[in-house]
Structure 1
């Protein structure tokens, strides 16, 4: 699945706006994942703050944790490395391959959990930029998810 030049341009503009607040937005995406899909907390056993409050804290409280903020930023940085390659599937695959391999073999993350992150990202884009931006960026998350699954 390739994106058109217009899709790529639109996606870049949407991403630029959401990435402008990388730390806060990354933390929000992850905190929602932890609250709505509690099994994902188990992937982060080394996040001691998260482990101690995950059951009782709100998504907002989880988003304020330093370890969640740092990892949310890391997730957004990885996506930021992918966005420039949306018009070049081979380059996109090269960018995704090491991430997919690490998550599949070393971290033992279920590939379906990437969908959770993407759904939360799209929800946040919709809240901050509207339905059109969300729809436009869904093409990006669909493409990236397909390439992650293929690399798993």
Structure 2
């Protein structure tokens, strides 16, 4: 599925507003994932702060951890790169494949957990920009998720 120029423009505008606060928003998305889906904490055994508090900490406390903030920024930077390729499916796929392969083979991340991240991202977009923005960006997350699953 290719994005029309208008779809890409709308999605890019939504993303630009979320990405403008990359560190905070990335940390919020990850902290919600960790809090609502505790099994995802197991992927981050090297995050010593996170490993010591996941059951007792609030999502806000988890989002404040330097490890979570740094990785949230890394996740959002990767998404930023993907958003820049929305109008060129071949380029988008070429960007997704190494990311998906690394998560599948090296990091052993269940592909379904990408869906969890995208759900939390869409929830955040809805909170900050409203339902229309959420709906517009859902096309992006659906496309990326399908391409990630295909590459797994």
- CA RMSD, 1 decimal: 0.5
Partner of 1:79: 79
Partner of 1:27: 27
Q: How far, CA to CA, are the matches of 2:56 and 2:84 in structure 1? A: 39
What is the CA distance between 1:5 and its match in structure 2? 1.4
Map Cα deviations across residues 7-54 of structure 1 (whole Å, 9 max, x no partner): 100000000000000000000000000000000000000000000000
What's the TM-score, normalizing by structure 2? 0.99
Query: Structure 1 stretches of 5 or more lacking a match?
Result: none
Q: How far, CA to CA, are the matches of 1:39 and 1:84 in structure 2? A: 31
Alignment of 1:32-111 (within 5 A): 32-111=32-111
Spell out structure 1 runs of 4+ moving beyond 6 A.
Answer: none
Task: Give the length in aligned residue pairs.
Answer: 152
What's the TM-score, normalizing by structure 1? 0.99
Q: How far, CA to CA, are the matches of 1:90 and 1:56 in structure 2? A: 44
What is the CA distance between 1:6 and its match in structure 2? 1.0
Query: Structure 2 stretches of 5 or more lacking a match?
Result: none
